[in-house]
Amino acid sequence: MRRLSVNTFLTLDGVMQAPGGPEEDPSGGFTHGGWSFNYWDDQMGKVMDEYMGVPFDLVLGRKTYEIFAAHWPHVTDDPMAAALNSATKYVASRTLSSVDWDNLVLIQGDVADGVAAIKEGEGPELQVHGSSNLIQTLIRHGLIDEFRIWTFPVVVGPGKRLFDDGTIPSGLKLVDSKVFSTGVLMATYEPAGEIPIGSFALEEPTEAEIERRSKLGS
């Protein structure tokens, strides 16, 4: 079974749309593209290099594929470009009829079934970058093994969100976290099953709590 990891840049109010520049995704009238640019420091770059320094393949939505394909095949002096260009790219799209990036495979038919079949095969880790619409499908079908979320200290209001309509309620387990000099928090989560439900109102008070309440009432 191949592990699928989602790597997402997120505003504090949950938006993942167009972190890298105004031209990335202005759909829906989004006017804050590029909100992540001025919050990067050297340590963040090193952590990202480590993440992408292991063998991996990509699972991408159409729009993210088009953004990547317009840039990375033309970069020759960057180790990240070499890694992206050599990786197999699985692209979910019902509208693409031809592709012009090496090592690219179109996911045919149902996207969830296609990604599930890819996970069952042999190969390295599967990474998802960007691809907000695709991620909604992966979340709904429980296909994500790890969320690596980079939360930036900025709020932008309306925009495409990581956990949007259709998200299935579930718990998450924090397995790693880092804080960077610009206030960015990177947290890595794994799915943790159903949310454990409780109620403070129904909790039996401890002896210490009973004593505290009695003192407050005296």
Q: What is the tens place of the pLDDT at every residue in 61-108?
A: 988 998 899 889 989 888 888 899 999 999 998 887 667 788 999 998
Count of the separate structural domains present in the chain: 1
Question: Domain with 78 in it: what CATH number?
Answer: 3.40.430.10
Single-letter residue type at 209: E
Q: Global pTM? A: 0.86
Higher pLDDT, 194 or 97: 194
> What pLDDT was estimated at residue 127?
96
Which range of residues forms the domain containing residue 97? 4-217
